[in-house]
Amino acid sequence: MAINKKIIPVVIALLMGFGNAVLAQTIPREELIFLTSEWKGERFADGRPKVSDDLLARAKDIGLDDAWTALKNLGYVNQFESGWKTVNDVVFTGRAVTAMYMPSRPDVEKSIKERGAKQGRAGNTNSWPIDILVKGDVYVADGFGKIGAGTLMGSTLGNSIFSKSGNGVVFDASARDVEGLSEIKGFNAFVRDFHPSFLESEVLMGLNTPIRIGAAIVLPGDLVLAKREGVLFIPAQLAEQVVSVAEFVSLKDDFGFEMVKTGTFKTGQIDSEWTPEVKQAFYKWVDAHPDKVKMSKATMEKILEKRTW
């Protein structure tokens, strides 16, 4: 078969640009784009959806219950997981960087580590996901719920994670050195438990691949919302819609409390489909409280048009 010499430089460039990603336990960029094909916005070089920093900041202030309800109404019922232990009482949001761990077997782990060494990767495989973190990321790991010898980080790796991402972690696994981790100001970790042991007999088998966290499915780039109730994984293409709906619910509640308290409207008028009179009062109230509004007026009107509850 004849080879078109003109495409050779292009192929080499692609291999240089994506070779490490493909060889480091990741799925191909094309497959990640396929799995997240409904996302139409900006992406990282490896294909991971890049939800905006502004949206990440807005998401910190929404109610997790409201966001969960918005997702459920859209048919997404496998995006939440609870039952965590945490390091600090810190809310965080970010873009998921996923890691899948499995029980190790000598031949597989040997091959993976040898290949990693050739790529310039150092340390145990649980440090490899940390190497690719950037600001706004959340390290989300499926450690198959392992507690003893399933500690994916201690205070040293915790400091590295926070310095790179400015965020916490979500581990379906354990962590060690809770005292040291708790001293990292602004850091939080949602883990299954804490244990004094070191990580053993466990190896990274997937990096930025779809993973399972308890009852939830997580894809790279999902918007992670970690709050007291648990962790919600919002598909990137739904992030703007879910955050806006949750913000609207908060506005609606604040407006309703004031209207009922002042006797302007009754509870039944607020909690049912709004009449033109109530809508007009709501817009007037919104104009008087601009500091409470983060969505555009067009988005607000769109939500009101579809609202039947």
pLDDT digits (tens, 9 = 90+) for 200-213: 999 999 999 999 99
* Strand, coil or helix: 254: helix
Q: Does 251 fall in a domain? A: yes
Domain boundary residue, one of 213, 234, 255? 234
Domain that holds residue 152: 53-60+77-234
Tokens of 49: 């959806």
Q: How far apart are CA 87 and CA 64, in angstroms?
A: 19
pLDDT digits (tens, 9 = 90+) for 275-297: 999 999 999 999 999 988 888 88
Closest CA to 89 of 192, 226, 195, 223: 226
Total of domains in the chain:
2
Pairing of strands 92-103, 85-86: unpaired
Residue with tokens 């999902």: 222
Say yes or no: 264 and 121 in one domain.
no
Per-residue burial over 121-139, b if 16 or more Cβ lie within 10 Å, else e, is beebbbbbbbebbeebbbb
Q: Show pLDDT as tens, one digit a residue, over the chain (309 residues).
A: 444 444 443 333 333 334 444 445 788 999 999 999 999 999 999 999 999 999 999 999 999 999 999 999 999 999 999 999 999 999 999 999 999 999 999 999 999 999 989 988 888 999 999 999 999 999 999 999 999 999 999 999 999 999 999 999 999 999 999 999 999 999 999 999 999 999 999 999 999 999 999 999 999 999 999 999 999 999 999 999 999 999 999 999 999 999 999 999 999 999 888 999 999 999 999 999 998 888 888 888 888 887 655
Mark whether 167 and 224 lie in a shared domain: yes
The mean pLDDT of the chain is: 90
Mind giving me the DSSP string for 268-306? HHHSSPPPHHHHHHHHHHHHH-GGG--S-HHHHHHHHHH
Q: Based on the domain organization, do 145 and 284 belong to the same domain?
A: no
Q: Are residues 154 and 110 located together in one domain of the fold?
A: yes
What's the confidence (pLDDT) of residue 181?
A: 98
Which SS3 state, helix, strand or coil, does residue 265 take?
coil
- CATH code for the domain of 175: 3.50.30.40
Could you tell me if 85 and 213 lie in one domain? yes
Domain match, 100 and 224 both? yes
- Within-domain flag for 7: no
Structure tokens at 241: 């819609």
- The verdict on residue 285 lying in a domain is yes
3-class secondary structure per residue, 171-239: EEEEECCHHHHHCCCCCCEEEEEECCCCCCCEEEEEECCCEEECCEEECCCCEEEEECCEEEEECHHHH
Q: How distant, in Å, are the alpha carbons of 31, 48, 78, 171, 224 from that of 81? A: 26, 22, 8, 11, 11
Residue 12 lies in a domain: no
Q: What's residue 292's pLDDT?
A: 87
- Is 267 found in the same domain as 140? no
Same-domain check for residues 189 and 273: no
Residue 239 CA to residue 297 CA, distance in Å, equals 18
- Regarding whether 263 and 171 lie in a shared domain, the answer is no
